Amino acid sequence: MLRRFSPLFLLAFLVIVIIVASCSALPVVIQTPTFTFTPSPSALPTETPTSTLTLTPTFTPSPTATATSIPTATATSTPTVVPTATATFVVGRPTASVKLVYWGNQKKKQVHIGFDVEGNPKILNEILAILAQYRYHTTFFIQGAWAADHPDAVKRIVAQGHEVGNHSWTHSDFRKLSREQIVKELADTEELVFKLTGKSTKPYFRPPYSYRNKQSIQVAYEQGYTHILWGQDAYDWRDHDADKIYHNIVDHVRPGEIIYMHTSHKTDPVALRRALQTLQERGYKLVSLTGILAP
């Protein structure tokens, strides 16, 4: 039967058979593509700070008077300052190294009661009459703006033999003033008081409310002033009762004591008269600020 096909046909048939056999022997490879899946976030990322800054507030009490007002009474609180050493004095004047004074010579049985001048001059006149009766010459700290309104009262203080000190011009918180403002407060008061009386307020300065800081102490010192504070407060600004004020003065007094009062409270004259009488009966000598600072 093969004889019926030509040799060429048989050759082509064999080639086809060989090709088919070869293809059926090769392995079949199916390539599966690889996908990378990135899910969408369900929320925005939260940023965590690397550090936390904690601020500690500093509280500074505000005085009851402003720089442009003249208070009729002192602040309702007075800081208590405990001195660490006793100052040294020469001929009633602080030495060059003294910037703060709390008390005077403790070796003598004497006491000083001074006044911050303010308020109605009528009360001041009552106080001056009592001091004259006891022949007591003391020290008055003058506020410049008050002196401008009551020049005759300032003259009367000096005419009766009393000393004067500087109590600023506006009765402002000196911790809040610039160096230039402090200088002006002191200089303006000094200029007016000297013009009215011929007496200088130097070297005594009592800061309003007793408020002071390193700058105010240094600037006042450079202007020729020593800060005069006190060892005993009469608390006449707090205790508007003559009996309480009297006991505030006499119950804790000691030799060399510096006590301060005001000229603005109706109860002051009564308390003052009783206190002067009691102190004299106890053997205390009543002296001015210069007297209490003398060696």
Q: For the chain, which residues make up each domain, given as ranges?
A: 110-293
In the chain, the amino acid numbered 28 is V
pLDDT over 50 at 174, yes or no: yes
Q: What is the per-residue pLDDT across 206-264, written as a single tens digit (0 to 9) for each?
A: 999 999 999 999 999 999 999 999 999 999 999 999 999 999 999 999 999 999 999 99
Burial of 202 (0-12, 13-18, 19+ CB in 10 A): middle
- Does the domain at residues 110-293 carry the CATH identifier 2.20.25.10? no
The yes-or-no verdict on residue 46 having pLDDT over 90 is no
The secondary structure of the chain as a DSSP string is -GGGS-HHHHHHHHHHHHHHHHHHHSPP--PPPP----PPPSSPPPPPPS----------PPPSS-TT---SS--S-------SS---EETTEE-TT--EES---TTSSEEEEEEE--S-HHHHHHHHHHHHHTT---EEEEPHHHHHH-HHHHHHHHHTT-EEEE--SS---GGGS-HHHHHHHHHHHHHHHHHHHS---TTEE--GGG---HHHHHHHHHTT-EEE--SEE--TTT---HHHHHHHHHTT--TTEEEEEESS-TTHHHHHHHHHHHHHHTTPEE--HHHHH--
Lowest mean pLDDT among 14-23, 25-34, 191-200, 222-231: 25-34
Share of the chain above pLDDT 70, in %: 67
The sign one gets for the Cα dihedral 90, 94, 97, 100 is positive
